[in-house]
Amino acid sequence: MNSSTKTVSTLSNKLIQMMNDDEIMKRKLMIDGDGCGDDRKISNLIKQFLLWCYNDNETELECQLSAERLLNAIDQSELAMAKSVETIKMITNELDNYENIYKNIEKSINDAKSKLQSCKAELAYAKQIRRYKLEYDSISNIIEKHPSTQETQIKLNALDEQIQNLQKINNQIESKLEKRRRQFQLLLSTSHQLQSVLDDENESNDLLNTNTIAIDQQREPQSLIESLETSSKTSSSTTTTLEALADDNGQHHQDAAVPMETN
């Protein structure tokens, strides 16, 4: 009985110390962390312990059995507490594992995003290259439709040669035209001179006919002969000038025909 009393006093002191300390709250949270009624079991255990402590009607054997039941209950509570601790550790490990998995997934997502961005950049670059290729093809087709630089240069040289030949012909024609202009002016001046000579002769003839018809009848044949000779000389000079102009005009047509046949 004394041993039982000592045991009771020891247990009561421990329980009172635990109840007065914050450790009881920690143990409560650890034991009833999963919400399976462990808190209620602890409360019932405390009530049974208090009843066992203050129950003086039990025999020593009954008291010993009650103490063993309380110890079994305490052992079960400690086992449940250890189980809860292990469960908490397992949950913590799982949380860490899930955190690592989450980080790996997030890293994979970031890698996928970066890869997607690089793929988009490559796609844009490929589209640009394709567009440039199509433009190059269209430009090359346009270039192939036109002659090459050598052919164009040959044609330009031929055109330059033709232009030079035409320029020479033009210069020749202009020089001949200037020559014909001078000849025409000479012809005009000659014709004017001839006309003036003829007018003078007509006037002189009129005066002679008016004043000396009756007086110089004997000398009239000789004066007529002289006037006829003067007129024939003037006509012969005019005829010579016209023949020279005709010869020059024919030579001009021949010279103009020769370059045209050459071209």
pLDDT in tens, 5-38: 555 566 556 556 555 555 555 555 555 544 455 5
* pLDDT bracket for residue 51 (50, 70, 90): confident
33 domain residue, yes or no: yes
- In tens, the pLDDT along 99-120 reads 999 999 999 999 999 999 999 9
Looking at the structure, tell me whether residues 89 and 180 fall in a common domain: no
226 vs 167 pLDDT, higher one: 167
Question: What pLDDT was estimated at residue 26?
Answer: 58
121 domain residue, yes or no: no
119 domain residue, yes or no: no
- Contact partners, residue 163, CB within 8 Å, separation at least 6: none
Question: What pLDDT was estimated at residue 21?
Answer: 53
Number of domains in the chain: 2
Domain interval for residue 45: 2-112
Tell me which of 56, 90, 112 is where a domain ends: 112
Question: What pLDDT was estimated at residue 47?
Answer: 75
204 domain residue, yes or no: yes
Instruction: Provide the percentage of residues in the chain whose pLDDT is more than 70.
Output: 62
189 domain residue, yes or no: yes
Could you count the other beta carbons within 10 Å of the beta carbon of residue 38? 21
Looking at the structure, tell me whether residues 176 and 103 fall in a common domain: no
First to last CA, the chain: 154
Which of 49-53, 139-143, 170-174 has the weakest average pLDDT?
Answer: 49-53
Looking at the structure, tell me whether residues 94 and 170 fall in a common domain: no
Question: What pLDDT was estimated at residue 257?
Answer: 46
Only one residue has tokens 């000659």, namely: 190
Looking at the structure, tell me whether residues 237 and 177 fall in a common domain: yes
Looking at the structure, tell me whether residues 175 and 96 fall in a common domain: no
